[in-house]
Amino acid sequence: DTIAVDVYFHIASSTAKANIITDQIIQAQFQVLHGGFLPYGIELSLVSTGRIVDNIIATGYWVNGSIEDFDAYLAYLTRTRRGGYDALNIYYYTDMERGISGFCNLPTIVIEGDQFFYRDGCQVNGNSMPGVPDPLENSGLGHTSVHESGHWFGLLHTFQGGCSISGDGVDDTPPQASASTGCPEGRDSCPGLAGLDPIHNYMDYSSDTW
């Protein structure tokens, strides 16, 4: 059976970059996201795209690797989140620090209306979207959104747990000692266990998988 999921995009742009994330880029990003999950029986539908131009919000409130003003950040999410807990909200920021591609919370038990409900969506660097003029190095094809949404669906990193048997909790994912970088074909970070590292898996850190 197909699992149907409503998706809501939220675009936060600075004044200087108000026209960077075009409608065409949004559609291209959704096609990448949709194509990443459809083979596994998950049908995503883009319900709406909201936009805001605000120089502070456009940073995702990130300063030096952390959220500087959590109250303002939570207020923004509270104002803009759409749908129930089964709806995927993805927030894109034109001016998020380039050292972060994005992040997303794993599913849990929430009460609709509490802060964990509003923090449920994925936060993604807008420079990871396909077609932007200044893409992130190694993350400019739109796959970051697939990676972060994978967390929203409950997936862990492929290197979770290192070379332990339980690993990421997915039986057909080979054990992996640590995150991959670049495109290390043939990498085998757990040589005593079966299988090469799944470097092409969206949930690794190889180039353009996240």
C-alpha atoms less than 13 angstroms from C-alpha of 19 in its C-beta half-sphere: 0
Domains defined along the chain, listed by start:
3-152 (3.40.390.10), 157-210 (no CATH)
- d(Cα 121, Cα 104) in Å, to the nearest integer? 6
Please tell me the pTM assigned to this model: 0.90
- Burial class of 110 by CB neighbour count within 10 A (0 to 12, 13 to 18, 19+): middle
Q: Which of 97, 137, 148, 185 is catalytic?
A: 148
Beta bridge partners of 4: 43
Note the pLDDT tens digit of each residue in 70-111: 999 999 999 999 999 999 999 999 999 998 999 999 999 898
Q: Among this protein's residues, is 148 annotated catalytic? A: yes
Q: Torsion over CA of 31, 32, 34 and 37, rounded to 10 degrees?
A: 160
Q: Residue 120: which of 112, 132, 128 has the closest Cα? A: 112
- The two structure tokens encoding residue 17: 């970059």
Note the pLDDT tens digit of each residue in 21-76: 999 999 999 999 999 999 999 999 999 999 999 999 999 998 888 898 999 999 99
